[in-house]
Amino acid sequence: MQTLFAAYYVPFERVAAVDGRILTDEDMARWVRLPQGEPPITQSEVGCFLSHQKCFQLIAEGGAEYAAIFEDDAVLSPDIGTWVGSDHWIPRDADIVKLETTGAKALTGSPASIFDNGRVLARLLSRHNCTAGYIVSKDCAQRLLVETKFVTTGIDELLFNPDYRVFNRLRIYQISPALCKQSLVQSTIDRYEVPRVKLAGRICRETVRPLLQVYELLWRGWIKMRKGQSWRRIPFA
């Protein structure tokens, strides 16, 4: 990350992560408050959560109105220095600007800004996990310190999943093409295992797939026509 930041002229402050491997049972009992029905959480996830919490603390107490948080496995666009070097392009009502893409489809609102270089900024309206790179306002960081007093789920679920109330309390924007992505396709702290699908299940899945594809095309067309929203994969460039 030091090499990348130097190459792209990005000033930064390194924040030492919380190593989940050294968390004791007492630490887990102190920090974790999982709601009923929430899947178990790993020590690595707790460490990641607390690491982002440390960043929120620094931003909340700092002098800048906005700051970007990057994880140490982030891959950055060569344009990153231009975007994090100023905040004039950030909407004044923005709590978070997600700089990252996972390559998954995401629902965004009508463009808030269209820039000369082809990038578009729009409200993020659907789940778009991972926290390898995002901008947080100072006001938002202060509020997130309250929301992250205890670990209630993975930090990316908390911030970027509408199923959690925090997402719906924030104004989150997505930039596209994205300026950041994780170096790994799948997070090393993912706690969900994908079960092996039996033959009958595979047959059923392949039978239903064409119907789901037609439904998705119709739904995406309706969203775009009626609401000015867009459901598409966010590229990285």
In a domain, 78, yes or no: yes
Q: For residue 77, is it left (φ>0), alpha (ψ between -120 and 50) or beta?
A: beta
From first to last of its 237 residues, the chain has per-residue pLDDT tens of 999 999 999 999 999 999 999 999 999 999 999 999 999 999 999 999 999 999 999 999 999 999 999 999 999 999 999 999 999 999 999 999 999 999 999 999 999 999 998 999 999 999 999 999 999 999 999 999 999 999 999 999 999 999 999 999 999 999 999 999 998 744 444 444 444 545 665 566 566 667 656 655 565 555 555 567 888 899 999
The secondary structure of the chain in percent helix, strand, coil, rounded to multiples of 5, reads: 40, 20, 40
Q: Which residues of 15-48 are buried (b: 16+ CB within 10 A; e: fewer)?
A: eeebebeebeeebeeebbeeeeeeeebbbbbbbb
In a domain, 220, yes or no: no
In a domain, 134, yes or no: yes
Domain of 132, CATH number, reads 3.90.550
Positive or negative torsion for Cα 83, 84, 89, 91: positive
As for how many domains the chain has, the answer is 1
> Residue 193 belongs to what domain range?
2-198
In a domain, 69, yes or no: yes
In a domain, 217, yes or no: no
In a domain, 165, yes or no: yes
In a domain, 123, yes or no: yes
Strand 172-176 to 105-114 pairing? unpaired
In a domain, 210, yes or no: no
pTM for this model (two decimals): 0.83
Q: For residue 103, is it left (φ>0), alpha (ψ between -120 and 50) or beta?
A: left
